[in-house]
Structure 1
Amino acid sequence: MEKDADILGKYRSISNKLKKRFLKRPNVAEGSEQYGALGKCLQQQECPQYAAFCYLAQARCEHTLVNVAGEGQALLEAARNFVHAELDNVGLRCPSFHEHLTAAINCYCHAVRVHIENKNSPLAAALCLELGSVLQKVNKPGEAMVHYQRAADLQSQSPLDCLVSLGHVASCKIQSRDYDGALGVFTEMAYLAQESGGSGTTGQPIGAYCDIIVQCEITRVLLLMLLQPSPQRIRPEHAQTLEKYAWETNEENTPSQFLDEDLFLLLQSVVMACQSQDIEALSLLQVDLWPRLSAEQNDLLQLVVHEISHPASDSVM
């Protein structure tokens, strides 16, 4: 494209070629190709919002041509360019109504709908995950959660992928300080991993499913210590989880097939320290647990320590 090219003029020129003429059928395939080429040029010139509009026009052409794959790809390019424009505004701290983000969400949702209608649930789920990641990046965990949950629903036939998506849902709930909701999601994940990950010979979860069960177990214990539900309000499945970590637990009830002995004893000690409000012991346990936990779990443990240290502060509930 020439240095001082009239971008709007080029766009209009392509659009005019696609207008219906008497006894002349417009060449929609050529128009789609030209919109795509103009979009690429605008991307190279760092004009993502204008490139996005070109890709939207290309998507309309592909829809007319009944090219589902082409339509979905053009919508995705439009969405990513709108995201680029939004992140540019955020980086420059430009005041805005987040119109680029809204346009990106609409493009992603349209692309998801196109793939669902074409019976391509895996690709639709991948786009839901990508949109969720974008929304988390701009600090909108509540909105991201909706799309992560939709991805999990679309992945119902693929348990491992579904568990990964549910993990993102739970992380968004933690980020939104909905700890009770996060506890419910991790409990659902533990049951799903237990049911779906069993081997044909032993029936016990294997491989990645075991890792997910361990991570769910650790996070559920930390969330319960953070929430400190009363005996009257605690749900049976959560009470059953805490019973595993009582001092009088017998060997049959310990989750030794998933947790190694040292980690189990450390979590058991955390539960006891929280129940006895022993902040000194809890601080020492935090040092031992720190290298064995994920960043999210360490943040939860820090919140637990803070809540035990400051009982008069506002409850997380």
Structure 2
Amino acid sequence: MSTDLGASFNEQYMNINTKLKKRFMRKPNISEATNEFIALAIQCEHSEQPAFAGHAYVGAAKCEATAGNFLGEAEHYLAAARQFMKAEKKLKMLKFYSPDRENLEAAIGCFMQALNKYPDKSPMRTSILMELADSLVMLNLKLEAVAYYEQALETVDDKTRKLMFMKNLVNLLIDCEKFNIALETANKICDSNFNMPDDILTEIQVSRVLLNLLVEPADDNKPVSLRQLFIDLLNDTETEAIPFNTDLQLKLQSIIISCMTADVSSLISVSSEVRQYLTTHQNNLLDTLIKEKRMRHLSLV
């Protein structure tokens, strides 16, 4: 490409399009145009111009659509989506703000174009949705990512994968401070009869305890399993639903009682002792819980 990369790209892109439009007495050579678009895209990638590469891959995808090669079309839309997303991440890294989100919207559009080429329950749909969601998380657009995680969940039948996706979704909702929905999702996990390893079950149950104390849903809105969890915890009942070690169970009891009695000092005290057992998301939940209880206490003084 020449020094003026933008002008060079536009010229080459238009030349390929012009060839396609010269139908006259013969059909355009779709295969040749596809290869030229791909070559142009690779050239742009090597020049570290992902947005240009994305547009070239879109050109290749449209050629494949004309030829009726829908899998090839999907493949090129995916390549375009990744290049547009790369361009967006590059802008973020350079701390440039794009108010119209041109590259990001192009990436999302290309992911959706690729998605629509696969059957409803295809593993590729799951992969595309998760890739888009993960990219949005990396861009700190976590609330937008939630919608694509939820769509991905609808495409998954395998219980192990579904469990991991739901667990990740709970943590993502906590990051977005959507505590009500996070609690509902955690409740669904525990009520879905997943065969969970003890470490995952412990994580979900601890999150449910903290989310419940933060959200404070009415008893009528609590599923039986959540009400039973608190009863068993406070009564030292041994059950498969709470595979906690003794120290963690005692600390959770103290947190629950501190919240029930509005004893903020005790809550702060026990929080320093329980943090070693908590995940990053749960520690953030605990910080939010302490903040909420402290603000409520100050408002009553």
With 57-66 and 133-142 compared, the bigger mean Cα shift is at: 133-142
Secondary structure of 1:244's aligned partner: helix
Cα offsets for 1:141-164 (capped at 9, x unmatched): 332111101111101x11121122
| Equivalent AA in structure 2 for residue 52 of structure 1 | G
**Is it true that 1:108 corresponds to 2:111 in the alignment?**
yes
> Which residue matches 2:216?
228
> Which residue matches 2:83?
81
| Equivalent AA in structure 1 for residue 202 of structure 2 | V
8 Å CA contact retained: 2:187, 2:223: no
8 Å CA contact retained: 2:210, 2:286: yes
Alpha-carbon separation, structure 2, partners of 1:158 and 1:233:
29
**Is it true that 1:278 corresponds to 2:263 in the alignment?**
yes
Give the Å deviation of 1:37.
1.1
Give the Å deviation of 1:302.
1.1
Give the Å deviation of 1:4.
5.2
Secondary structure of 1:116's aligned partner: coil
| Equivalent AA in structure 2 for residue 220 of structure 1 | R
Which of 223, 226, 249 pairs up with 1:264?
249
Give the Å deviation of 1:8.
1.4
Alpha-carbon separation, structure 1, partners of 2:232 and 2:240:
6
Alpha-carbon separation, structure 1, partners of 2:20 and 2:262:
73
> Which residue matches 1:154?
155
Give the Å deviation of 1:254.
6.6
Q: What does 1:173-184 align with in structure 2 at a 5 Å threshold?
A: 173-184=173-184
C-alpha change, 1:232 and 1:164, in structure 2 (3 Å) is closer
Alpha-carbon separation, structure 2, partners of 1:161 and 1:313:
44
Alpha-carbon separation, structure 2, partners of 1:137 and 1:158:
26
> Which residue matches 2:11?
9
Alpha-carbon separation, structure 1, partners of 2:214 and 2:262:
12
Which of 19, 37, 40 pairs up with 2:39?
37
> Which residue matches 1:291?
276
Q: Which runs of 5+ in 2 are unaligned?
A: none
Alpha-carbon separation, structure 2, partners of 1:305 and 1:16:
65
8 Å CA contact retained: 1:190, 1:212: no
Q: Which runs of 5+ in 1 are unaligned?
A: 198-204
TM-score (norm 1): 0.84
C-alpha change, 1:210 and 1:110, in structure 2 (3 Å) is farther
> Which residue matches 1:243?
231
Alpha-carbon separation, structure 2, partners of 1:233 and 1:26:
63
Q: What does 1:65-144 align with in structure 2 at a 5 Å threshold?
A: 65-90=67-92, 91-116=94-119, 121-144=122-145
C-alpha change, 1:313 and 1:254, in structure 2 (3 Å) is farther
TM-score (norm 2): 0.88
**Is it true that 1:301 corresponds to 2:286 in the alignment?**
yes
Give the Å deviation of 1:231.
4.4
| Equivalent AA in structure 2 for residue 107 of structure 1 | C
Secondary structure of 2:130's aligned partner: helix
Alpha-carbon separation, structure 1, partners of 2:149 and 2:214:
25
8 Å CA contact retained: 2:64, 2:70: yes
Say what the alpha-carbon RMSD is for the aligned residues.
2.4
State the identity as a percent: 27
Give the Å deviation of 1:301.
1.0
Q: What does 1:183-194 align with in structure 2 at a 5 Å threshold?
A: 183-192=183-192
With 50-59 and 5-14 compared, the bigger mean Cα shift is at: 5-14
C-alpha change, 1:241 and 1:20, in structure 2 (3 Å) is farther
8 Å CA contact retained: 1:152, 1:162: yes
Give the Å deviation of 1:82.
1.3
